[in-house]
Amino acid sequence: MSAHFRAFSFVDRIESARPGVDIRGHYLIPTTVPGFPGSLVAEAVGQLAAWSSLSANGFARRPLAGIAGRIEILAAGRPGQVLDLAAEIEHLDDTAVTYHGTASVDGRAVLRLH
């Protein structure tokens, strides 16, 4: 898949954010990829949570660990779909961020992180 991506970034747009609290965004899955597995959907939610944690500390440092307790992969993403991403920050310090989040397509959940 690496040939299809210019960067390992799965957040196209941030719609709303309360730094260190919650964040909402989107990712358009490229039409040039054959599929977008649940593991990459989870990565997209994790990247969104990272943006919230970075913003909370003024982009001075990035926690190295993102912690989600349980992952429910309900469906894989498909080329051309827009993933609606959301993350809620439960705890944030200098080394880790604990969060939960969701990804949905057309209002249907495709992933839940608890």
Residue segments in the chain with a per-residue pLDDT below the cut of 50? 1-2
Query: Model pTM?
Result: 0.90
Q: Is the dihedral of CA 5, 6, 9, 11 positive or negative?
A: negative
Domains of the chain with bracketed CATH: 2-113 (3.10.129.10)
pLDDT the model gives residue 6:
58
pLDDT the model gives residue 108:
97
Whether residue 50 contacts residue 62, with contact meaning beta carbons closer than 8 Å, is answered with: yes
